[in-house]
A and B are shown apart, each in its own frame.
Chain A
Amino acid sequence: MNLTLKIWRQKNANSKGAFVTYNLEGASQEMSFLEMLDYLNSTLIGKGEEPIAFEHDCREGICGSCSLYINGRAHGQDSKSATCELRMSRYKDGDTIVIEPWRSKAFPVIKDLIVDRSAFEKILEAGGFISANTGAAPEANSIPVPREHADKSFDAASCIGCGACVSACKNASAQLFIASKVSQLALLPQGRVEAKLRARNMIAKADELGFGSCTNTGACEIECPKGISLAHIARLNREFLKATL
């Protein structure tokens, strides 16, 4: 099939960047979205042009590195799936596809479609860890964890740190990401101890880094490839209130 691709090109972090339109012939519906971009890049290399830089690694929805804003939606039109899981069978011959990098003050573009997501690392450094000394491994039955807590914590832990929540949010808020980390740790006994401080410090860091504040539109939950629930944000808010009031 033939496609018209409007893709953001930007030389480096300091240059201005602009959209470039490519007419791609011969893409197939059997390709994945990223394979389609690989194919486009091979044609660019063939013509002696610079290939488009985009991030990818596992290509099976577990690493969180792929990060494209496609036709107005984070990770493309499918809800709860990553860019690498998007198939070209979702498009038809003659389609125009707009491909942009994540855009927010806290995620500056480094090159083309690649952004610097180290702001997430900084939020984690502010509280996304357990410093309680847990000593040697105790007898497993001495610290019972309710099944419900374990399940919810595990769900929260499935966040892959992709940043789609920030992109999908009209306020570029990182609340869903922070909430997933806060919930993951707060629901387990060792993490419970520092839950309040963690929430307070991670929120303070996110504010400082220029992420927006949540207005509960819920767009993040829909676009999150892991379907992290808004209920975790409610828990984050509770922990924050306990820490500050």
Chain B
Amino acid sequence: MSNFFKASIGRKVLVGLSGLFLFSFILVHLTVNLFLLAGQESYNIATHFMTTNPVIQTIEPILAVGFILHIAYSVWLTFLNQKTRPQKFLKVDQSKSSTWASRNMFVLGGLIFVFLIIHISNFWYKLNFTEIGYIEHGGEMMKDAYTMVASSFAIWWYVVIYVAGAVLLGFHLNHGFQSAFQTIGLSNEIWRKRWTVIGNFLSIVIAAGFSIIALYFLIKHLIS
């Protein structure tokens, strides 16, 4: 076991597994966001469920651990990989041999992290730690998260940041998805193609899904 943590592949496996865990969280997140399109009551009930359900509440700290593992190990690996070529090549052309996203995972990850901070302080923090309005749905009082979101998405520059975050995330996941399966060894000639196709599809769904919701609210605000 100690050999696992000492070796480069062991660290990579931790990045890959935590990445896949975060990927599944993103899918759940998008699903909850889709309730925004169904209207105020649906979304508020969905948010109420997410913030009060005991199972979800236990998963939240695990999610934080997932983020920390993923970030810490990627930073460490990238730092080590920076030292492997002290004398750089004068001319490098990797455009024919690899995708742009695959070569820029660290930069993409860093930008997503910045977005994450903005997003957490703007949404999660407000929802959990500030006094936002309450509303009654089906005889139960709950936080009116819908109005809070709608007012954020009425600000054009916030939507710009949000859409940029979603697109960056899409690129990151586009490489990350198939890469994670390769790292944990669940890949071969055929499955690599399959993971790539599935990853391409899901990363587009994720980038487009989050973006469309934000744009929907902005447009709704602009025409009303």
Residues of chain B lying within 8 A (CB to CB) of residue A243:
3
Residues of chain B lying within 8 A (CB to CB) of residue A73:
93, 96-97
Selected interface stretch from B7-15, B146-154, B216-224: B7-15
CB distance from A73 to the nearest CB of B (A): 5
Residues of chain A lying within 8 A (CB to CB) of residue B93:
71-73
Given A103-B85, A216-B179, residue A222 in contact with residue B184 (CB < 8 A): no
Interface size on A, residues (CB 8 A): 51
Selected interface stretch from B58-66, B99-107, B165-173: B99-107
Contact string against A for B residues 82-124, beta-carbon threshold 8 Å, 1 for contact and 0 otherwise: 0111111111111011110011010000000000000000000
The answer for the CA separation of A121 and B110 in the assembled complex, in Å, is: 37
Contact string against A for B residues 172-212, beta-carbon threshold 8 Å, 1 for contact and 0 otherwise: 00010011001111111100100000000000000000000
The answer for the CA separation of A170 and B77 in the assembled complex, in Å, is: 13
CB distance from A66 to the nearest CB of B (A): 17
State which residues 138-171 of B face A: CB under 8 Å: none
- B4 an interface residue at 8 Å Cβ cutoff? yes
Residues of chain B lying within 8 A (CB to CB) of residue A211:
84
CB distance from A116 to the nearest CB of B (A): 14
Contact string against B for A residues 202-245, beta-carbon threshold 8 Å, 1 for contact and 0 otherwise: 01101100111111111100110000011101111110110111
A217 touches B103 (CB 8 A): yes
Residues of chain A lying within 8 A (CB to CB) of residue B77:
213, 215
B102 touches A216 (CB 8 A): yes
Residues of chain A lying within 8 A (CB to CB) of residue B99:
217-218
- A172 an interface residue at 8 Å Cβ cutoff? yes
Within 8 Å by CB of A100, from B7, B89, B182, B187, lies B89
Contact string against B for A residues 157-200, beta-carbon threshold 8 Å, 1 for contact and 0 otherwise: 00000000000101111000000000000000000000000001
Residues of chain A lying within 8 A (CB to CB) of residue B83:
105, 210
Residues of chain B lying within 8 A (CB to CB) of residue A204:
3, 6-7
Within 8 Å by CB of A237, from B9, B84, B89, B98, lies B9
- B55 an interface residue at 8 Å Cβ cutoff? no
- B80 an interface residue at 8 Å Cβ cutoff? yes
Interface size on B, residues (CB 8 A): 45
A171's closest neighbor in chain B, by CB? B81
What's the A-B contact tally at a CB cutoff of 8 Å?
A: 148
The answer for the CA separation of A19 and B91 in the assembled complex, in Å, is: 12
Residues of chain A lying within 8 A (CB to CB) of residue B13:
237, 241
A244's closest neighbor in chain B, by CB? B4
- A6 an interface residue at 8 Å Cβ cutoff? yes
Given A172-B84, A211-B84, residue A234 in contact with residue B188 (CB < 8 A): yes
Residues of chain B lying within 8 A (CB to CB) of residue A236:
9
B9 touches A240 (CB 8 A): yes
Residues of chain A lying within 8 A (CB to CB) of residue B38:
none
Within 8 Å by CB of A234, from B1, B8, B87, B186, lies B186
- A106 an interface residue at 8 Å Cβ cutoff? yes
The answer for the CA separation of A19 and B90 in the assembled complex, in Å, is: 9
B94's closest neighbor in chain A, by CB? A219
Residues of chain A lying within 8 A (CB to CB) of residue B10:
240, 244
B8 touches A203 (CB 8 A): yes
Residues of chain B lying within 8 A (CB to CB) of residue A42:
none
**Ordered nearest first, which 5 A-B pairs have the shortest CB separation?**
A72-B93, A238-B185, A213-B8, A244-B4, A212-B84
A interface residues (Cβ-Cβ under 8 A, vs B): 6, 19, 69, 71-73, 77, 79, 98, 100, 103-106, 109, 168, 170-173, 200, 203-204, 206-207, 210-219, 222-223, 229-231, 233-238, 240-241, 243-245
